[in-house]
Structures are given as C-alpha cells and as structure tokens.
Amino acid sequence: MKLFDVYPLFDINIVRGRGCRVYDDKGTEYLDLYGGHAVISVGHTHPYYLEKIRRQAGELSFYSNSVVNKLQSELAEKLGRLSGYDDYSLFLINSGAEANENALKLASFHTGKKKVVSFSHAFHGRTSAAVNVTDNAKIIAPINGTFEVVRLALGDIDAVRRELAKGDVCAVIIEGIQGVGGIQIPADDFLRQLREVCTETGTVLILDEVQSGYGRSGKFFAHQYAGIRPDIITVAKGMGNGFPIGGVLISPLFTPVYGMLGTTFGGNHLACTAAIAVLDIMEKERLIENAARVGAWLMEQLKALPGIKEVRGRGLMIGIEFEQPITDIRRALLFDEKVFTGVAGTQVIRLLPPLVLTLDDAAEFMERFKRVLNRK
Ligand code: PLP
C-alpha cells in the first residue's frame, strides 16, 4: 500500500532528536525552529518525559473512560494551577480540531443556537465543525454545513456587536494568535471588547489556544496579555510534546451531563502521562519565562535586519514577513544552513521552536539566517 499523497515532502528522513536539534538518517544535525507545527514544547526526547512514558507504558497504556482515571484528575489539577484556570473543568480529546469541535458543541448545547462568528484568516482544524469556522477552507472541505458561520474582519468590534445584537449567535471563536493566518495578534483591546459584548449578549467566547497556548507566547495563554477570561479555551499541540492529546477548558458556566461529550481514546493513560510530564518540565525549567525572554531577544534581532517587511509575534511564536515569496529563503535555510522553519501563506516564515530554545541556539539561528539573507 502507498501513502495517500496529501503532504508535499522534503526528501529528509528525521530519525532522532534532542532538545532543539534533530538528526537525519545520514547523521546530519538540524536546528529545529519549527517543532513540528508548535508541538514540541519541552524539547525532543526530554529524559524526564521519556522516563515517565516508559514507566507508564510498562504498567498500562489504555483503559476505558468509564473507569476512574486518576491521571486525568492529576493532569486537570496541574493544568488548572499552571494556567491560572483552577476553577475550570477539563475535557480531554486527541487533537486541536476535536477540541474546537467539542467547544462548539458545548456552546450550542448551552445556548440552543447554531450560528458562530469567526474571523478572517482563522484556522481551527479539519473536522467538520472546525473546518466550518476556518477561513478559506474550500480546499480542505468542499461541503460545509454543521454550523451557520459568519466571518468577520479580525479587529472589527462594531461588526461583531451588530452580529451578536441579532440574538442568534451561540459562540465567537478566535485564536489567541493566528498561526496559519500569518502570526496575526488580535489587539488586547479588541479581545477585551469581545469579552464584554459576549457577556452582554450571552454568547460563548471560545479562545482557540491550540497553537498559541501552553507557554508559547510567553504567558500560559496568549489571551492572558489582554487580561480576559474566555468561557472555553481549547488546547492541543504542545500539550503532549508529540503525544496526541487535546483539551477543552470549560468555565463553571457550563454544567456537565452524563453522555453529553465522549471519546474512546481521549485522556488515555499514556496521553495523560505525557501531558503531566510536559507541565512538570515547564514548571521546573521555567519554560514560559524562557519563551518570553528568548522570544523577545529574537524579535529584537530580527527587527534590526534589513529587507524584511514586518516581524510579528509574542514569545516563541514569531512571523517574519517578506515583500516577496519566501520559498527560496526557506529552502536555503533548510538545505544550506540546516534549519527547520515553517511558513504561513507565501510570504511569512513561521518560527515555533521548542520552548527550551536557549539564547545561544537563537544566536546560532540568527547567524545562519543572516548568511542566507546576505547570499540573496
Ligand atoms: N486550531 C489552531 C489554531 C491550529 O493551529 C490547529 C492546527 O494547526 C488546529 C486548531 C487543529 O489542530 P489539529 O491539527 O491537532 O487537529
């Protein structure tokens, strides 16, 4: 059987990783400034993380959600404490799209409505409701339908007010920082006004922190820069450092009912162990502070470079926008300078490195990046 060919692949076979470095099958070392789409939070093959997973796999990998899983409660307790949301409840699933799917479902249960407001350039995943609220989704979902969606310009609070005043919207969904959309940061004021108008109209405010959460922005959640508290927060990616897991953080506004939500694999023993290890490491190694510090340094250095249109970001979620397509720059970074980066659209290089990136790693990246720019 061959693979269903949906990913454009580089001819590089990564077989090993450690911290912010990965190695191909020929032994070549690469600096990883992408972390597999913001997934690698505590670094590749962190010894504490590996040890916890090995030990758990030797005990039990999986058992049904209908039997008490103390690991889920341990994870919920730690996540609540570290994120500042200890009064919220946690529902566990396997991915970011699934997290958003359940968030939207909760919002429609709660309000009895099915219209959703989302924003231009938003990306929320590829399952049917998640794709429904994603912008420009034609290529990944030719048929949309679960929710009625109104897409508004990011930042246009008057348009949001007008829409919510109609009284038929169940939720507003917004990313803490748009990732796929090109590292666009919603203004703190806009988020505060959004919070206000959602409260006034009884609309559920969902913050998609799948990419921007888990310490990446230099705070646990990117929306915490605005000082707001959403009704629902969705997480995945960095949560398991590569082990598939997602979560929905649910405010006390919602009352759980048996059978309301459910999943086979969500919150299994191995996934919870991985996620607990991630939080332990983040806390012990102060990775949120590290993301803020190293990210600020990187942004300052990048902003001083000539030939760049704009540098945007917070913490270790950084977009470098050029006037021209960045294909050649990215290829030169990868093949000549052995650095993995990501893209957003055609003109933005996206940096989402592991949160353990040191100032030395960042300086090394800058040297390599400058060499590529100087050669052009
Ligand atoms: N939400 C955001 C903001 C994302 O960036 C992504 C993935 O890139 C998703 C949701 C979907 O996550 P997953 O691919 O785990 O389903």
pLDDT of residue 1: 97
CA-based nearest residue to 223, from 191, 246, 201, 247: 191
Residue whose pair of structure tokens reads 């003109």 in the numeric block: 347
The token pair that represents 153 in the structure block: 């310009």
Supply the DSSP symbol for 86: T
Both 123 and 95 in a single domain? yes
Residue 106 lies in domain? 48-285
97 CA: nearest ligand 1 atom: 16
236 CA: nearest ligand 1 atom: 15
Amino acid sitting at position 203: T
**CA–CA distance, 376 with 360 (Å, rounded to integer):** 25
Q: How many residues in total does the chain contain?
A: 376
Q: With the C-alpha atoms ordered 260, 263, 266, 270, is the resulting torsion angle positive or negative?
A: positive
Residue 233 in any domain: the answer is: yes
> Element (H or E) spanning 172, and its range?
strand 169-175
Protein residue whose Cα sits closest to atom 7 of ligand 1: 125
pLDDT of residue 144: 55
Both 128 and 33 in a single domain? no
CA-CA-CA-CA dihedral for 284, 21, 294, 333, to nearest 10: -160
Residue whose pair of structure tokens reads 């309301």 in the numeric block: 260
Protein residue whose Cα sits closest to atom 5 of ligand 1: 211
Residue 213 in any domain: the answer is: yes
Residue to probe by mutation, ligand 1, list 37, 40, 124, 174, most atoms within 8 Å of CB: 124
Across 49-53, 139-143, 220-224, 269-273, least confident range: 139-143
Residue 256 belongs to domain with CATH number:
3.40.640.10
Both 182 and 81 in a single domain? yes
Residue to probe by mutation, ligand 1, list 6, 210, 223, 243, most atoms within 8 Å of CB: 210
Contacts of 227 (CB under 8 A, 6+ apart): 188, 192
Choose the final residue of a domain: 231, 251, 285: 285
Across 11-25, 50-64, 127-141, least confident range: 127-141
Comparing 100 with 147, the larger pLDDT belongs to: 100
3-class SS of residue 295:
helix
Residue 100 in any domain: the answer is: yes
pLDDT (tens digit per residue) in 333-359: 999 999 999 999 999 999 999 999 999
Q: What are phi and psi of 359, to 5 degrees?
A: -65, -35
Choose the final residue of a domain: 285, 304, 329: 285
Both 29 and 172 in a single domain? no
pLDDT of residue 265: 95
pLDDT of residue 137: 64
pLDDT (tens digit per residue) in 118-171: 999 999 998 888 888 888 766 655 555 578 899 999 999 999 999 999 999 999
User: Per-residue pLDDT averaged across 65-69, rounded?
Assistant: 84
Amino acid sitting at position 247: G
Tell me how far the alpha carbon of residue 198 lies from the centroid of ligand 1, in angstroms.
24
Residue 199 in any domain: the answer is: yes
Both 75 and 151 in a single domain? yes
Both 268 and 294 in a single domain? no
Residue 72 in any domain: the answer is: yes
pLDDT of residue 143: 56
CA-based nearest residue to 149, from 124, 165, 171: 171
Amino acid sitting at position 68: V
Tell me how far the alpha carbon of residue 367 lies from the centroid of ligand 1, in angstroms.
31
Residue 365 in any domain: the answer is: yes
Residue 6 in any domain: the answer is: no
Beta pairing partners, 184: 178
3-state per-residue secondary structure call for 124-143:
CCCCHHHHHCCCCHHHCCCC
Residue 12 — pLDDT band, cuts 50, 70, 90?
very high
pLDDT of residue 145: 59
Tell me how far the alpha carbon of residue 130 lies from the centroid of ligand 1, in angstroms.
9
Both 280 and 304 in a single domain? no
Contacts of 156 (CB under 8 A, 6+ apart): none
Across 52-61, 143-152, 304-313, least confident range: 143-152
The token pair that represents 335 in the structure block: 């093949």
pLDDT (tens digit per residue) in 71-95: 999 999 999 999 999 999 999 999 9
125 CA: nearest ligand 1 atom: 11
Could you tell me what percent of the chain has a pLDDT over 70? 97
Across 15-24, 79-88, 125-134, 303-312, least confident range: 125-134
Both 295 and 365 in a single domain? yes
> Element (H or E) spanning 163, and its range?
helix 157-165
Check if the beta carbon of residue 223 is closer than 8 Å to that of residue 314.
no
Counting the structural domains of the chain, the total is 2
Both 215 and 281 in a single domain? yes
Tell me how far the alpha carbon of residue 27 lies from the centroid of ligand 1, in angstroms.
31
Report whether residue 210 contacts ligand 1, using a CB cutoff of 6 Å: yes
Choose the final residue of a domain: 228, 263, 285: 285
CB neighbourhood size of 246 (10 A)? 29
Beta strands at 169-175 and 115-119: parallel, antiparallel or unpaired: parallel
Both 37 and 56 in a single domain? no
Residue 357 belongs to domain with CATH number:
3.90.1150.10
Both 24 and 63 in a single domain? no
pLDDT of residue 66: 82
Residue 24 in any domain: the answer is: yes
Both 124 and 258 in a single domain? yes
pLDDT (tens digit per residue) in 199-238: 999 999 999 999 999 999 999 999 999 999 999 999 999 9
Could you tell me what percent of the chain has a pLDDT over 90? 90
pLDDT (tens digit per residue) in 239-251: 999 999 999 999 9
Residue whose pair of structure tokens reads 């990419």 in the numeric block: 211
Whether residue 368 is predicted with pLDDT greater than 90 in this model: the reply is yes
Here the contacts of 331-334 (C-beta below 8 Å, separation 24 or greater) are 332/372, 332/375, 332/376, 333/368, 333/369, 333/372, 334/10, 334/12, 334/30
Tell me how far the alpha carbon of residue 148 lies from the centroid of ligand 1, in angstroms.
20
Protein residue whose Cα sits closest to atom 10 of ligand 1: 124
